[in-house]
Amino acid sequence: MTDPTGALPGLDADTGSAAAAAGPASVPRAAGYEIEHELRAALGTGDRPVRIAGVDEVGRGAWAGPVVVCAAITDLSAPPVLPGRGDRTVALTDSKLLSRAHRESFAEILPGWLTGHAIGASAPAEIDEVGMTEALRRAAVRALEALPVPPDVVILDGKQDFLRPPWRVRCEVKADQRSVTVAAASVLAKVHRDRLMAGLDGAFPGYGFADSAGYPSPAHQRTLEMSGPTSHHRLSWSYLDDLPRWKHLKKHRDPLAGEGQLSLL
């Protein structure tokens, strides 16, 4: 049975820790291994170290493109750092706190440092068909099942356990800033999806896919209004309600027929 945070018994977040008690403002920029060490101490009773996968997603709120999930496993060794200004270094952390150049640089070195990593995705048509929560779960499972070794436990960024059993899950708010494993997954997912969306820019000019990665930038919205959605757009999204010329393309899930049923109204 899960608790309200989505964590399984024995995998509850340590809400009494200094970082949790102080709130998000106290979370350091550099990710660490606090969560991983807690999990190993709680679960490490066998003849080998506990395998911990960090999972993070990107693209959940975009209007176009897939939702992408990365699963990453480390050996809990010191993570790589990048040279910064002067004698400073740039530490691995949440991809949103890193510049594009630093994300790209980390994405080049992380695969060789990690014990294993894998990418999973759900395309726009699948998101339209089953909804974001299920599409996100499918993408995460694809990533986890593609790892070279199955993890014993998964760290998810946020409060919601969208994986559900049989996966053992530890949910942590801001895990991408506190967990090296999740931070690595965050960077690799972001860079993978950004590159994928940039690759669509030439075939679909005007939408700004190379700059906004399918999110609703002003250029994206203007081109949508003039030219309509592409084959890479999510057609069940509410943005179509504000585009009278293209509103007829919107897909609707029938609430009486199950989450996966679609109709055009």
Establish whether 57 is an annotated binding residue: yes
Secondary structure of residue 90 in the 3-state scheme: strand
Quick count: other Cβ atoms within 10 Å of Cβ 22? 10
In the chain, alpha helices (H)? 18-22, 34-43, 100-113, 124-130, 132-145, 175-178, 180-198, 209-212, 218-227
Establish whether 259 is an annotated binding residue: no
Q: For the CA atoms of 231, 236, 242, 244, what is the dihedral angle to 10 degrees?
A: 70
Residue 210 · residue 201 · CB < 8 Å: yes
Distance CA 37, CA 228 (A): 49
Distance CA 121, CA 56 (A): 12
Scanning the structure block, which residue is given the tokens 């706190």?
Answer: 97
Establish whether 56 is an annotated binding residue: yes
List, as residue ranges, the binding site for a divalent metal cation: 56-57, 157
Query: Which segments are annotated as binding site?
Result: 56-57, 157
